[in-house]
Amino acid sequence: MEGKISSRAKHIDFIISDVFALEISFLFAYFFRFVFEESEAANYRQLNLVLIIVYVFIILVQPLHSGILKRGFLKEFNNVLIMDIEMLVVILTILFVMKETDEISRLFIGMLFVFNLLITYLLRIIIKEIIYGRLKKNNNKTHIIIVCFRDNAVNTLTQIMKSHPRNIQVDRFMLLDQEKRMTPIEGIKIMQRKEMQEYLRTHIVDEVYIGSKARDVGKLINWFLSMGVIVHIMTEVFVHEVPNVRIDKVGDSTCITSTISPITAGQLVVKRFADIVISIIGIIFTAVIFVVFGPIIYIQSPGPVIFSQIRVGLNGRHFKMYKFRTMYPDAEEHKKELMKENEMKGQMFKMENDPRVIPIGRFMRRMSLDEFPQFINILKGDMSIVGTRPPTLDEFERYKPHHMSRLAMKPGLTGLWQISGRSDITDFEKVVALDTQYITNYSLDLDIEIFMKTFAAVLSGRGSK
């Protein structure tokens, strides 16, 4: 049942499209049937409501949208046809039981289901092509590494491509063989195990597929998990005590998937919906803050009011993060000079009474007003309301492997670190521990708790510098 719920949550766009197609089909059928004569509209309004209920019932009973992005044109038409026939049978049965068959036009019923078949199919194809177009962009693709022996490489690749023909990019094979041969497989480059750490640090890696059994596979899996990478273990690999396990289909094979985060597809949908709603409200407040503080910022320090900086997000993706400028324009150039004053132990920089901060900037930082432009990042999908703080490029370059786990979820405007003291925490490892705690214990309730506690932290100014 959980798989069905996840499928529906993942494909809410197709469900909305199906309902829209049903309503448009109803209006078309009603118009063409009764364009030259009157009808008893009340009966048809009731039928319209019954149609929606029947559709919801059918998708609750059957995961009709499961694997929708993997279906070709013919299979998609077949799927829509089956759904249409099922709806027709259920509706005719209801009309027969309620003795309403004489009250509803048979021609209307026929046109309704012909229109619904065509419009539903057309909208699904359009939506899929839009999604495929987005996935073709490199930044939207899932970047994959395959770990296996050379003799099993082609088979593992084939199974993966059967399930994900368009939205993945296999970047490397990491071979478990002792051989030094670096000949590419199917045009994909080979990487030795000793190169993996540096590769993960400098490249986007979303998921790893382990397709062969190795003596220390458990150690290998935990190493990948410590870096925040999702791990898929094919059934050929025998593994014990792997966290957050689920079973997935990869082509004709079954694999065990493990990740440090227990977040489900349904939770991701709810989290993204909340991000969009809250960010729209936040952008309105951002505009007000810009009108009030923008002139002050410019007067105290001529230059752009909004400051942008490249940050590192989900699994190493780069994005441009926005903030109200609270420092002088040449602040970054003087950062190296101040490193000896760094109050943080580790890969972050914090300094009380930072001389680069303009006068109004101190107030804005204390009240966290400088963070408001990040609602633009949240609306764009680069960030979330609750998450981990995105590192700068120079911080990221100094990361150790276990620090990568912080990037296993989208970065956030607020998080456990913010409500736990922020600048009062002077050890970066404590920051990593809090972020890992958030990711490994994720729940929507935890998001709500962090969001509410953020207000108290901001109003008190606790931990702000």
DSSP letters along 342-376, please? --SBSS----TT-TTB-HHHHHHHHTTGGGTTHHH
Residue 336 pLDDT: 66
Residue 292 pLDDT: 94
CA–CA dist 271, 385 (Å, integer): 9
Confidence band for 106, pLDDT divided at 50, 70 and 90: confident
Sign of CA dihedral 321, 323, 326, 329: positive
Q: What is the largest CA-CA distance in the chain?
A: 87
Q: Would you state the structure tokens that stand for residue 50, as one six-digit string?
A: 């019954």
Most confident range (mean pLDDT) of 1-10, 95-104, 372-381 is 372-381
Can you give the three-state secondary structure of 262-279, one letter per residue?
CCCHHHHHHHHHHHHHHH
CB atoms within 10 A of CB 371: 20
Q: Would you state the structure tokens that stand for residue 334, as one six-digit string?
A: 């003087």
Residue 42 pLDDT: 65
Confidence band for 5, pLDDT divided at 50, 70 and 90: very low
- The mean pLDDT value for 215-235 works out to 83
First to last CA, the chain: 48
Least confident of 59-63, 196-200, 258-262, 410-414: 59-63
CB atoms within 10 A of CB 167: 15
Confidence band for 237, pLDDT divided at 50, 70 and 90: low
**Residue bearing the bigger pLDDT, 108 or 378:** 378
Confidence band for 242, pLDDT divided at 50, 70 and 90: low
Nearest alpha carbon to residue 395 among 339, 359, 347: 347
Least confident of 105-119, 293-307, 420-434: 420-434
DSSP letters along 160-214, please? HHHH-SSSEEEEEEEE-SS------BTTBEEE-GGGHHHHHHHS---EEEE-S--
Residue 464 has pLDDT above 60, yes or no: no
Residue 167 has pLDDT above 80, yes or no: no
Least confident of 33-42, 202-211, 283-292: 33-42
Question: What is the pTM assigned to this prediction?
Answer: 0.63
Confidence band for 290, pLDDT divided at 50, 70 and 90: very high
Q: Would you state the structure tokens that stand for residue 417, as one six-digit string?
A: 């670190």
Domains of the chain: 2-136 (no CATH), 139-258 (3.40.50.720), 265-460 (no CATH)
**pLDDT tens-digit series, residues 128-154:** 888 777 666 655 678 899 998 888 899
Residue 2 has pLDDT above 60, yes or no: no
What H or E segment, with its residue span, contains residue 253?
strand 253-258
Task: Give the residues across from 231 on adjacent strands.
Answer: 208, 258
Residue 109 has pLDDT above 70, yes or no: yes
Residue 3 pLDDT: 41
Q: What is the mean pLDDT of the chain?
A: 82
Chain mean position to CA 436: 18
**pLDDT tens-digit series, residues 80-91:** 998 888 888 888
Residue 10 pLDDT: 61
Residue 284 pLDDT: 94
- Under 8 Å between Cβ of 68 and 11: yes
Residue 225 pLDDT: 86
Which distant-in-sequence residues (6+ apart) come within 8 Å of 341 by Cβ? 351
Residue 360 pLDDT: 93
Q: Would you state the structure tokens that stand for residue 331, as one six-digit string?
A: 């602040």
Residue 295 pLDDT: 94
Residue 9 has pLDDT above 50, yes or no: yes
Q: Is 316 left (phi over 0), alpha (psi -120 to 50) or beta?
A: left
Nearest alpha carbon to residue 351 among 366, 336, 341: 341
Residue 103 has pLDDT above 60, yes or no: yes
**Residue bearing the bigger pLDDT, 305 or 338:** 305
CB atoms within 10 A of CB 419: 22
Task: Give the total residue count for the chain.
Answer: 465
- The mean pLDDT value for 210-232 works out to 83
Residue 202 pLDDT: 82
* Share in percent of the chain as helix, strand, coil (round to 5): 55, 15, 30
- Under 8 Å between Cβ of 152 and 210: no
Residue 111 has pLDDT above 50, yes or no: yes
Return the SS3 of 390: coil
Residue 116 pLDDT: 92
**Residue bearing the bigger pLDDT, 463 or 359:** 359
**pLDDT tens-digit series, residues 375-400:** 999 999 999 999 999 998 888 888 88
CB atoms within 10 A of CB 142: 16
Q: Would you state the structure tokens that stand for residue 5, as one six-digit string?
A: 């719920």
AA identity, residue 130:
I
184-221 burial by CB neighbour count: b if 16+ within 10 A, else e?
A: ebeebebbeeeebeeebbeebbbbbbbbbbbeebbebb
Measure Cα distances from 360 to 65, 183, 372 in Å.
Answer: 53, 59, 15
**Residue bearing the bigger pLDDT, 34 or 238:** 34
Residue 61 pLDDT: 73
Q: Would you state the structure tokens that stand for residue 406, as one six-digit string?
A: 């912080």
Nearest alpha carbon to residue 14 among 51, 83, 68: 68
